[in-house]
A = this chain, B = another copy of it.
Amino acid sequence: MDFSRMCPKYESSIDIIGKKWTGLIIRVLLDGPKRFKDIKEQIPNMSDKMLTDRIKELEGLDIIVRNVYPETPVRIEYELTPKGKDLRVVIEAIQAWGERWMPAP
């Protein structure tokens, strides 16, 4: 891999993945489709508005899809698209690095 010159595709990717909360939301959804409140439960410090905004961004980027199930009451779940699921290797690499180098909290 050539690191001697910056690459615009790398720049845009890290802008997406590194954005505050985004890397946490994607990690939660790697566990499978989740409702809004289930995502919130894993990331309690994030406000509802922030999660709403991030979900919209990630839908716009085709990383998350919103599934509406016409039940009573209606059930809405968020799920990673193939593009989103393909981030698994990135998230796992970050997790593995953290386990090797981050001090215990």
Contact = CB atoms under 8 A, between A and B. Distances in A.
Nearest to A4: B31
- Chain A: interface size category: 35 or more
Given A23-B18, A86-B101, A101-B86, A94 B13 contact: yes
- Among A19, A87, A90, find the residue whose CB has the most chain B CB atoms closer than 10 A: A90
A68 interface: no
A8 B89 CA distance: 19
A14 interface: yes
A42 B6 contact: yes
Interface of A: 1, 3-14, 17-20, 22-24, 27-28, 30-31, 42-43, 83, 86-87, 89-102, 104-105
